Structure 1
Amino acid sequence: MFPGFTFHLKNGIRADLPARATPVTDPSERQTVLAEIVADLNQPHDPGTIRPTRLEDWADSRLMRVSFRHRP
């Protein structure tokens, strides 16, 4: 089990949401998600400087699923 954390929203919406992160370990699911991230980074509109932008370069990246919990 992984510890919980607080996901802070700001810039127009201010809220502190209780959350939990779990690793995404399924190879197929990782491939699908990381491929979408890399495709977005490779768009001409992307002003960011996050690189590398090849899927192979992201293969060992940590990937977490964030689940939000309801407050009691």
Structure 2
Amino acid sequence: MTLRATWPPQSCPAYYQFPNGVQVADISEHLTSNGGQVVQYVARSTRLDGLNKGEVLKDLMKARDLLNREIRRIQDAQ
């Protein structure tokens, strides 16, 4: 699968855009709601170029909480 930017760059914050043109939304739209949000929080807080929203630890803690929620959802479905 080739990922392409589907959102106009001007409507997407810079911390959700990557140098190759891929945007976090291009990935997260193929995931569950919780999974997509985890990817968004992790992607914007762990960028190697340092471009982030400025709340790195807070974003990672939110990602952890959402990941735990997704794990519980899957466990409950089994």
Instruction: Give TM-score, length-normalised by structure 1.
Output: 0.30
Q: Which has the higher strand share?
A: 1
Structure whose CA Rg is larger: 1
Per the normalisation by structure 2, the TM-score is 0.29
Higher relative contact order (CA 8 A, sep 6+): 1
